[in-house]
Structure 1
């Protein structure tokens, strides 16, 4: 992940409270990314050993938006603009 990304755990250690939309105040210039995405609904392709990760995109300030990149440990990349309802394959 690029340097401007921090995990949810790292953000929480800095004082981030997801229900307050304060990431831009406690970690200016940072976005949430690098956490495991569970794919519990099974909307992304499954494969033995595949792990999905998520990262916010287009975040500027306030509450996190709906845009995310989902990437797998074996090179797949998808985007969602509606908070995990639909996905478009990027790579």
Structure 2
């Protein structure tokens, strides 16, 4: 299965689980593996690229994005000051 096909299938499955209120049924290890894989892919795809890829679809709630951003900061033992330093390094205008 190609990555585009897998991506669409995974997106549909996530929408179904969330829509049915069953997101908590996803195991921590599966969730960690998915997020880690996507983070590696996103970073590698943007390294050396002319433009940074927008990471989220327009329908992602701000709260959901902040929940993930906060979890990523905590997972790497970073704080808002560290984030500010990296943010100023970003190629995407804020």
TM-score range relative to shorter protein:
under 0.3
Larger-Rg structure: 2
The structure with more helix, counted as a fraction of residues: 2
The structure with more strand, counted as a fraction of residues: 1
TM-score w.r.t. length of structure 1: 0.27
TM-score w.r.t. length of structure 2: 0.26
